[in-house]
Amino acid sequence: MKQVLIKQGKVLVEEVPAPVVTSGTVLVKVANSCISTGTESAVIAGSAESLLKRAMRQPEKIKQVLNIAINQGINKAINLVGAAKQATTIVGYSCSGVVIDKGKDVSDINIGDKVACAGSEANHAEIVCVPRNLVAGIPEGVGFPEASTTTLGAIAMQGIRRATPTLGETFVVIGLGVLGQITVQLLKASGCNVIGIDLDLDRIKIARSLGMDLSTASLSDDAISQIKMFTNGFGVDGAIITAATSSSALVSSAFKMCRKKGRVVLVGDVGLDLKREDFYQKEIDFLISTSYGPGRYEPNYEDKGLDYPISYVRWTENRNMQAYLHLLKDGSINIKPLIEQVFDINDADKAYGAIDSNGKKPVITLLDYSEGPNKEISRKIANPLYKPANKNKTIGVAVVGAGIFAKETHLPNLKSLSHLYHLEAVQNKSGANAKITARQFGARYATTDFQEILDDKNIGAVIIATRHDLHAELILKALKAGKHVLVEKPLALKQQELDQIVAFYQTDQTAALPVLLTGFNRRFSVYLAKIKTLTQERSGPMIINYVMNAGYIPLDHWVHTEEGGGRNIGEACHIYDLFTFLTGAKVKNVDVKPIRTKSAYYSENDNFVAAIQFEDGSVANLIYTALGSSTYPKEKMELFFDGKVLLLDNYKTLTINASKKPVVNTKVIDKGHKEELVAFANTILNGGEWPIPLWQQIQATEISFKVEERIRRDKR
């Protein structure tokens, strides 16, 4: 399918794999999409900036790159800068079309329904996959072009709701672009008098034709005086700012136009250098309107489909969308005069060119997909830049999940291990991201469909780097298809999932079953290899103290949700594997002491101490905490045995008995990611023992389950 992408200030229309419908989503064949002039023009301008200009605007990014160079190496820092320079952006968040598929749990929308779509998945593309709560049915009598503006209509409507207009009040709308034009009409429909301000006389003329009462093309003192005359000297009841500018003059003028105890609502993106004297004496309320309404930026609402009860939240994102569509139907909003240009998707560059031209700029520009293909949907796109590898001596591998970790760690490592692997495919939910990543790292093709990977006989192994809740399901499918699997931790989130994986390996002990490796990479680092050697011949048990200064992650981050399983299962499992690796013994007992802070700022599994006793008599303690400082090393380990003390400092130095001369030291943090891939390949190519015995992978995972159960039990 075709999709609009932005790269280095240029508008591209590229073929990308079509999305696959998932739980809680709706698959839509797009008829029209609406270009958000302000937002998308800013994206184009930003992508055209040099890295130096971007760095000057975001100095914290420079610090971040320097830290990466110090801790992870100059090459990784250079790769990150190069990736930023070549970054491709997906654009579009308002479209309309016909439902062609839906998730099994979506019951109130049917295939063939005409719908309007909003949000980050409602891109400028021939086919989109959108969460249910961001899809609204189009009423009879409303066409696809008008319905494609629904997201913008919902944004304007939320601004109105924040302003709480009442019959007979007077409002000023500053900025008569698409949001301003819709806002004017919504205010008129609410029984208000409306004044509009814009520098563009053509836009003023359009707004006047749609019911606006008074207008001015300036923010001068004379214009403000004229507005006060219109309101009998009192000033307007409220002002809604829908313009976009870096200047703070708009906010200052809005305050000056208002009566005492008036209100100003900010919808657009403007400078906010506020002056106290502009609003203090008049006690003006200054309000921010967040996009389409309640539910915006809330994963439970947008991604998981959890709606707010109408008795408690009358107007959500979706209900705002529905209300706007019905206003289009009954004629209270007339959007047709605002749609000044419609371009075919293939001419998207011309559409954006019209927006950025120095001449008359259209209020609304749409993209049209009526000439879209009726052929079978393709979820696989070949990479024309692919260079065939020597497949007889290397492993064909697919990377499933093209997130940050895969692109910053696994894929660069695979590229450097071309004597062991050749990258066949990249699979990702986003077709654009899959294609961009496949092209960047030289994969044979990109796909959105995991089944393509399973059916491909050239692929011998898969690396699963998706969010945690998908791991177990994908592992089983890949194993049953005969693929070797390296899955990023955790192996599973629930005991039932783990049991299914174990059962797979118990079905047929005679067959050569695929290798399974959980990404417990620390045991493969040069540091743990040395520690294992030093402790191999110990005469008795040992004590291990491990501190993970994990740092704080906000509670709304996905790692804390059902997708992530929490930080104990999702991250601390690394250390449970490390303990298992060093002792080589089965677990005897697990004891956990969670820390309960008075504040709900921390997750219940952010801070705990786990003491694990092994059958060989060894005891391992993990202090896992989000209470510490980011200036302190993230990980430290002390290991006591046979009259010796080993100290591992953040995977950069290893010393014995506090000696000033380290036994091992590296310039950058070495946690064994590359060595893990080498071990995985060697087992596949040469046979022999697995890089991590299955029982040890299971034990590390089950320890995390026991710790989790004890944390939750303590809470009760």
Give per-residue burial for 366-384: e unless 16+ CB within 10 Å, then b.
bbbbeebeeeebbbbbebe
Quick one: average pLDDT of 170-180?
96
Model confidence at 63, in pLDDT bands (50, 70, 90)?
low
Ramachandran quadrant class, 352 (left: phi over 0; alpha: psi -120 to 50; beta: rest): alpha
Q: What average pLDDT is seen over the chain?
A: 92
Query: Can you point out the beta strands (E) in 386-487?
Result: 395-400, 421-427, 445-447, 461-464, 484-487
User: What are the pLDDT digits (tens) for 615-646?
Assistant: 999 999 999 999 999 999 999 999 999 999 99
pLDDT at 313: 95
Model confidence at 538, in pLDDT bands (50, 70, 90)?
very high
pLDDT at 79: 59
Q: What are phi and psi of 65, to 5 degrees?
A: -65, -40
For the chain, give the percent of residues with pLDDT over 90: 79
Peptide bond into 373 cis (omega under 30): no
Give the DSSP letter string of 38-54: HHHHHHHHHHHS-HHHH
User: What are the pLDDT digits (tens) for 403-452?
Assistant: 999 999 999 999 999 999 999 999 999 999 999 999 999 999 999 999 99
pLDDT at 94: 97
State how far the Cα of 636 lies from the Cα of 633, in Å rounded to an integer.
Answer: 7
pLDDT over 80 at 71, yes or no: no
Domains of the chain: 2-149+299-368 (3.90.180.10), 153-288 (3.40.50.720), 380-518 (3.40.50.720), 521-715 (3.30.360.10)
Q: Cβ of 72: how many Cβ atoms within 10 Å?
A: 19
Residue with tokens 């005359």: 229
Quick one: average pLDDT of 344-366?
86
Q: Cβ of 392: how many Cβ atoms within 10 Å?
A: 5
What residues contact 617, with CB distance under 8 A and at least 6 apart?
540, 541
Can you give the pTM of this predicted structure? 0.89
Quick one: average pLDDT of 249-255?
93
State how far the Cα of 547 lies from the Cα of 609, in Å rounded to an integer.
Answer: 9
Q: Report the DSSP beta bridge partners of residue 99.
A: 28
Model confidence at 221, in pLDDT bands (50, 70, 90)?
confident
State how far the Cα of 568 lies from the Cα of 547, in Å rounded to an integer.
Answer: 13
User: What are the pLDDT digits (tens) for 78-111?
Assistant: 556 555 555 789 999 999 999 999 999 999 999 9
pLDDT over 90 at 660, yes or no: no
User: What are the pLDDT digits (tens) for 272-327?
Assistant: 999 999 999 999 999 999 899 999 999 889 998 999 999 999 999 999 999 999 99
- Strands lying side by side in the sheet with 170-174: 214-216, 193-197, 170-174, 236-241, 258-266, 285-288
Structure tokens at 606: 């952010």
Q: Report the DSSP beta bridge partners of residue 94.
A: 118
State how far the Cα of 575 lies from the Cα of 251, in Å rounded to an integer.
Answer: 53
Q: What are phi and psi of 185, to 5 degrees?
A: -70, -35
Q: What are phi and psi of 632, to 5 degrees?
A: -90, 145
Angle at 590 between CA 584 and CA 595, to 5 degrees: 130
Q: What are phi and psi of 23, to 5 degrees?
A: -55, 135
pLDDT over 60 at 362, yes or no: yes
In whole angstroms, how far apart are CA 507 and each of 16, 454, 498, 512, 595? Answer: 40, 20, 15, 12, 42
